[in-house]
Each structure stands twice: as C-alpha cells, then as structure tokens.
Amino acid sequence: MRMLINVPETVVADALRGIAAAHPDLTVDVENRLVVRRDAPVAGKVGLVSGGGSGHEPLHAGFVGPGMLSAACPGEVFTSPVPDQMVRAAAAVDSGAGVLFVVKNYTGDVLNFDMAAELAEDEGVRVARVLVDDDVAVADSTFTAGRRGTGATLFVEKIAGALADEGAPLEQVEAVARRVNESSRSFGVALGAVTTPAKGSPTFVLPPGELELGIGIHGEPGRERRPMMTSGEIADVVVQAVLDDLRPTGPVLALVNGMGATPLLELYGFNAEVQRVLSERRVPVARTLVGNYVTSLDMAGCSVTLCQADEEMLRLWDAPVQTPALRWGR
C-alpha cells in the first residue's frame, strides 16, 4: 500500500486538521468531527447540514460556507457519521429558523440522520430532511435499499444553500431541495477500483481492458462489466442512461464529475462527448460544471448528473457561493 497517510485510524482527523489550517473561515472541530462556517449561526437563516462517509472530498466539508452548507459532518471513510455529530452541527447552525438535513440515500446515512433529527428536535431545533436519490444505475428499487444519492447532492446543496442565504423559511428551502433532487439523475462508470486506507488493497479487481458500469461512490462494483470503450462510447451509454430516466423537456444543469483518480484532461475530453450526446438528443445545457466534486478516494472514472432546471433553480445556481471547493460571484 502506498498512501499519503500516517495510520488508517487517523486519516479523517488528520484531514480535518489540514482543512482547518487551509480554511480559516471555517470552524473545524477535529475531536467531534464537525466543519462549520465561522459566522454560524446566521440570524434568521435556515441552517443547512449535510454529511456522510469521508473519502468523497470535496463533498461535504468542501461545500461549507456562504451560499451553500452551514455545516458538514464527516464520518469515517465510506461510513456514515454518527448522530452525535449531526446533533452538534444542528445546534451550532440553528438560529431559530430551523435546520435542513441533506441526506444521501444509503442505509447508514438515513438511519443516523433519522436518529439525529429526533434528538435535535428533543433539544428544540426544528429539523426537516431531504433525501437525495439520483442514481439511475440502481435498477429496481423494490429489491434494493433504493436509489443511491450521488452527484445530485452538489446541486441540492448549492441551490438550497442559496435560497437559505436569501432568508427563505425552512419549508421553502426544503421544498426547493426536494424539487432539485426530483429533477436530477446520475450514472457512474469506474475505470479502476478503490483502495480504502483500512483495507489497503483494491476493493475489487478490474482487469485491464475492462470497465464497470453503474457504480456508486463507495468502491463497490457496479451493475455490469464491459470491455473498455472510448470516451465517446462511454458518454453515449452514460448520458443515454440518464436521459432515459429523466426525460428532460427543458434546459439542464450538467455535472461531469471525476471519481478522484481521473485527470481533468480526460474529464474535459469526456465533457466534450457528453455535450455532443446532449446536443444530438436536443437537450439544451444551461450550465456545466466539470471536476472532482463527489469522489470515491482513488477510483478512476466519472459520473454524469443532469438536473432539469427551472428559472428559480438557475437563479439560485448562479447566486454567489464561497466555499473551499466551489466559489463564484463574490
């Protein structure tokens, strides 16, 4: 194993100390595993809290700041955080206007955030929850734990975060978050497996010349394995899978997301192919974001998320944001 770590047990804490050093406008509580915007709680503003396993950086700590999340709760690598973290986060960001939990649909995240919501409400914090479940690679949700939450998390956090910053009440922030999720679909491809610090070897073996279609973001194998394809062929498969499910009738937001180990050179080239497919299918693209945003440690590969955006979503997408990983307009 060759990793830039000390020991597997301190990987998350070490990263949090590094985040604290790099971003003085965040409050980082290493012991309790919390990243909070420094000016929280902001008077009259709904708090936006998300979290999940570590290993998906910059998700979620990289999205904390004005215009996006109020706080993030990083768990152990690929492991949901515990309710104590979320309760502390809710208390830290609640100004009395309530808190929205943005939860990716994984059994662990759902259970822990549900427990946290109950505990936070016992302490007098008004909590709403939105579940992100955009992954169309999960074929039949009656036989699974339901669609996974992946790239759409970024759209939900950015757009709901912008509305919260405008001072909208909890119900409205929750409603727009839900609408963004319902309007978003994703599909991912792996060109290599993940090595987690705890295990120290790849979680599955992907022979040269093959790729995994329909992966999630936890190093698990996907829906099927196929011989390697060109960037254009992969874009055909991925975008078609998303469009078959989303069937957009208007302009979309596009996220071409790297899984962690794919260079931007490849991602930009892949984006060109994604835009070609969308153009061939007569789907207008309103905004595009290319980069490593919802990653899976050192997995090579990419995912595409499309969100059919209405006027309000576009306005909120363009609103200023100032976080470690996403910043514009300020």
Partner 1 sequence: MLDTDFFRRWMTATATAVDREADRLTDLDSAIGDADHGSNMRRGFGAVTDVLEKESPGSPGAVLVLAGRHLISTVGGASGPLYGTLLRGTGKALGDAAEVSWEQLTEAFGAGVAAVARLGGAKAGDKTMLDALLPAVEALGTSAEAARDAALAGALATVPLPARKGRASYLGERSVGHQDPGAASAALLVAALAEAARTDEGGRA
Segment interacting with partner 1 (CB under 8 A) among 14-22, 40-48, 110-118, 313-321: 110-118
Nearer to partner 1, 176 or 194 (CB): 194
Q: Is 75 in the site for partner 1 (CB under 8 A)?
A: yes
Which of 70, 80, 150, 153 is in the footprint of partner 1 by CB under 8 A?
A: 80
Binding mask 181-210 for partner 1 (x = CB under 8 A): ---------------x-xx---xx------
Give the HSE-up count for residue 129: Cα atoms under 13 Å, Cβ half-sphere.
Answer: 19
Stretch touching partner 1 by CB under 8 A, among 89-97, 144-152, 251-259, 265-273? 144-152
Tell me if 45 contacts partner 1 by CB under 8 A: no
Clarify whether 23 is annotated catalytic: no
Under rule CB under 8 A, residue 145 binds partner 1: yes
Taking the least distance from each CB to partner 1, the nearer of 112 and 308 is 112
The reply on whether position 107 binds partner 1 by CB under 8 A is yes
Kindly tell me which residue out of 221, 232, 269, 291 binds partner 1, with binding defined by CB under 8 A: 221
Asked if 111 interacts with partner 1 (CB under 8 A), we say yes
Where does this chain touch partner 1 (CB under 8 A) — which range of 123-131, 136-144, 250-258, 266-274? 136-144
Can you tell me which of 19, 77, 102, 259 binds partner 1, judged by CB under 8 A? 77
CB of 114 to partner 1, least distance (A): 8
**91 binds partner 1, rule: CB under 8 A:** no
Q: With CB under 8 A as the rule, give the number of residues binding partner 1.
A: 35
d(CA 133, CA 249): 21
Minimum Å distance from CB 195 to partner 1? 9
Closest CA relative to residue 255, chosen from 131, 130, 152, 183: 152
Catalytic member of 37, 45, 104, 218 = 218
Check if 56 is active-site.
Answer: yes
Q: Which is nearer to partner 1, 91 or 285 (CB)?
A: 91
**Residues 33, 37, 45, 56: which is the catalytic one?**
56
SS (H, E, C) the chain: CCCCCCCHHHHHHHHHHHHHHHCCCEEEECCCCEEEECCCCCCCCCEEEEEEEECCCCCCHHHECCCCECEEEEEEECCCCCHHHHHHHHHHHCCCCCEEEEEECCHHHHHHHHHHHHHHHHCCCCEEEEEECCECCCCCHHHCCCCCCCCHHHHHHHHHHHHHHCCCCHHHHHHHHHHHHHCEEEEEEECCCCECCCCCCECCCCCCCEEEECCCCCCCCCCEEEECCCHHHHHHHHHHHHHHHHCCCCCEEEEEEECECCCHHHHHHHHHHHHHHHHHCCCCEEEEEEECCCCCCCECEEEEEEEECCHHHHHHHHCCEECCCCEECC
- Which range of residues in 60-68, 138-146, 261-269, 274-282 is near partner 1 by CB under 8 A? 138-146
Residues 6+ apart with CB under 8 A from 178: 130
Distance of CA 295 to the CA centre of its chain: 8
Pairing of strands 252-258, 301-308: antiparallel
Q: Does 5 bind partner 1 (CB under 8 A)?
A: no
Enumerate the active-site residues: 56, 218
Residues of this chain that interact with partner 1 (CB under 8 A) are 8, 53, 75-84, 106-108, 111-112, 115, 138-139, 143-145, 148, 196, 198-199, 203-204, 216, 218-221, 223
